[in-house]
Amino acid sequence: MIVVATTDFEVYHEAVAELRERGVQFTTIEPGDEFPENTNVVITGADDEIETPVTVVRAKPDECRHAVEEALALMRSGGGRTIVGIDPGERPGIAVLNGDMVIATFHVPLAQAAAIILAELEGAVDPLVRIGDGARLQGTRLIDDLDGIPIELVDETGTTPYLGTGARGMGDVIAAINIAHLSGERITERTIEPTAGELQVIKTRSREQSPENRAIGEELARRVAAGELTIEEALEEHRQQLNDRD
């Protein structure tokens, strides 16, 4: 766990904001207080007096982003295996774990997910991605985009919890954390045949995004389903095909 311990209000405020923005698990204490047993890294101010056997990262108010990045890098190299859990979908939930510790979470559009995951795994020793078996089309696209990374396909049944008051929107992220803890089947690719319903969803979305209110045909919808094209690219090909006919 990352612990923030400083009397410098600016460092405290900025470090906590950075950690919260990244979805990192952390706690705060006053300098001189007893550190939690599971402390891995301490972020503190440049002038704070800290006595602890764990690694200390010192930060200045205008350099807290770098301090947080350094602390996260130290967490990733702390001996635990880096595992990324993914709850696939149009906005997949993503959880990055070092051993059993959650060090970062994301909930982003599908188009951004692979780049974020690859950045989080950069420099990791023996990384592993575990992805839920739901949302087949989006999951397959992610698997293709993560070529070269060890991947396990996980039965995601029961991984999305009941969400109480104030937890709205957290379900995909919590599911990703649960998926990261489950063993799955090692795969290198996932080939699926889109259902008629899945193709219809793609056609409907293409119509909604088309200025001309036109839907793409089945062949282009299949290419979108396979991850070969985005809907925007398929619409452009569709327009070109219509222009060629004229």
For residue 112, the one-letter residue type is: Q
Cα(28)–Cα(10) distance, integer angstroms:
14
- Tell whether domain 82-187 is in CATH 3.30.420.140: yes
Counting every residue, how long is the chain? Answer: 246
Q: What is the pLDDT of residue 29?
A: 94
Q: What is the pLDDT of residue 124?
A: 78
Tens of pLDDT, residue by residue over 14-69, are 999 989 887 788 999 999 899 998 898 999 999 999 988 889 999 998 889 889 88
Write down the domain spans for the chain: 2-76, 82-187, 196-245
Q: Which fold is adopted by the domain 2-76?
A: Rossmann fold (3.40.50)
Cα(204)–Cα(196) distance, integer angstroms:
12
Q: What is the pLDDT of residue 206?
A: 92
Q: What is the pLDDT of residue 125?
A: 74
Please state, as a whole number, how many other Cβ atoms lie within 10 Å of the Cβ of residue 119. 8
Burial class (CB in 10 A: 0-12, 13-18, 19+), 245: exposed
Q: Which residues contact 226 (CB under 8 A, 6 or more apart)?
A: 140, 194
Q: What is the pLDDT of residue 78?
A: 62
Q: What is the pLDDT of residue 246?
A: 66
- Strands 185-187, 151-154: pairing is antiparallel
Intervals of the chain under pLDDT 70: 77-80, 246
Structure token digits, residue 12: 């405290």
Per the CB < 8 A criterion, the answer to whether 151 and 106 are in contact is: no
Q: What is the pLDDT of residue 224?
A: 85
Tell me, rounded to whole angstroms, the distance of Cα 32 from its chain centroid: 35
